[in-house]
C-alpha cells in the first residue's frame, strides 16, 4: 500500500511538472541527523523507552516466576489455594498487559512522549522547508527519506479540496474559494 502511494505521488509530481510547476525534494532524516536538538530529544526518548521496556519485562518475569512456583507447588495445594493462586497470577498478568497497553499502545505514553520531544524539532524543519519553498518559488517539496516519499509542503494555491467538496455537494455555501489570497505569499 505504501509503495502504491509512493507511485501515485511520483505520477502526480511528474504530471504537475509538465504544467511548469516547480518542485523539489529533501531528506528529512539527513537534516534531522544534523540537528543537535533532535539528537538530544531522540536520546531522551530512547532512555525513557528503555526504562519502560525494563518495567514491562520485570512485570512479565514476575508473572512467569509466580506460574513456575504454582506448578512446583500445585500438587501440595488445596483446590481453594489453587484458585487463589491462579487468580493472583491472572491479576498480575492482566496488570502487566494493561501497563504495556498504556505505555506502548496506540496513543500511549510512548506515542505522547515522542510527540512532546520530537514534534517541536520537526516543526522547525517544516518551517524551514516552507521558507525555502517560498524563497525558491516551489509549489511542492517532497521528503525522500527512507520511510518513503511524502509531500511536506504544497503551495496552498494548488489545493483543490474545496472544489472537490463542492463537486460532491459537500461544500459550505458560505465558503468562498479564494486562491488569489495565496498569490503574494
**125 and 166: one domain?**
yes
Give me the chain's average pLDDT, please: 82
Averaged pLDDT, 110-126: 92
Looking at residue 130, its pLDDT comes to: 87
* End residue of a domain, out of 59, 89, 112: 112
**43 and 29: one domain?**
no
**32 and 61: one domain?**
no
Note whether 24 and 137 are within 8 A (CB). Answer: no
Averaged pLDDT, 180-184: 45
Averaged pLDDT, 71-94: 96
Averaged pLDDT, 109-114: 94
Which neighbouring-strand residues pair with 24? 141
Rounded-to-integer distance, Cα 108 and Cα 101, Å: 7
**95 and 45: one domain?**
yes
**67 and 100: one domain?**
yes
User: Confidence class of residue 43 from pLDDT cuts 50, 70 and 90?
Assistant: very high
Q: In this predicted model, which residue has the larger pLDDT, 181 or 25?
A: 25
Res. 14: pLDDT tops 60: no
Res. 137: pLDDT tops 90: no
Res. 183: pLDDT tops 50: no
**47 and 27: one domain?**
no
Amino acid at each position: 500500500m505504501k509503495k502504491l502511494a509512493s507511485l501515485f505521488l511520483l505520477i502526480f509530481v511528474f504530471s504537475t511538472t509538465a504544467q511548469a510547476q516547480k518542485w523539489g525534494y529533501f531528506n528529512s532524516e539527513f537534516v534531522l541527523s544534523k540537528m543537535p536538538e533532535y539528537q538530544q530529544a531522540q536520546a531522551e526518548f530512547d532512555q525513557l523507552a528503555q526504562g519502560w521496556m525494563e518495567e514491562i519485562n520485570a512485570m512479565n518475569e514476575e508473572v512467569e516466576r509466580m506460574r513456575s512456583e504454582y506448578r512446583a507447588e500445585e500438587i501440595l495445594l488445596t483446590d481453594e489455594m489453587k484458585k487463589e493462586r491462579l487468580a493472583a497470577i491472572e491479576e498480575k498478568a492482566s496488570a502487566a498487559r494493561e501497563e504495556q497497553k498504556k505505555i506502548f499502545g496506540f496513543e500511549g505514553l510512548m506515542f505522547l512522549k515522542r510527540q512532546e520531544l520530537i514534534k517541536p524539532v520537526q516543526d522547525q524543519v517544516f518551517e524551514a522547508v516552507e521558507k525555502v519553498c517560498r524563497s525558491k518559488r516551489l509549489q511542492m517539496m517532497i521528503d525522500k527519506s527512507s520511510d518513503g516519499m511524502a509531500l511536506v509542503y504544497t503551495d496552498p494555491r494548488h489545493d483543490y479540496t474545496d472544489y472537490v467538496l463542492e463537486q460532491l455537494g459537500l461544500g459550505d455555501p458560505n465558503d468562498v474559494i479564494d486562491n488569489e489570497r495565496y498569490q503574494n505569499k
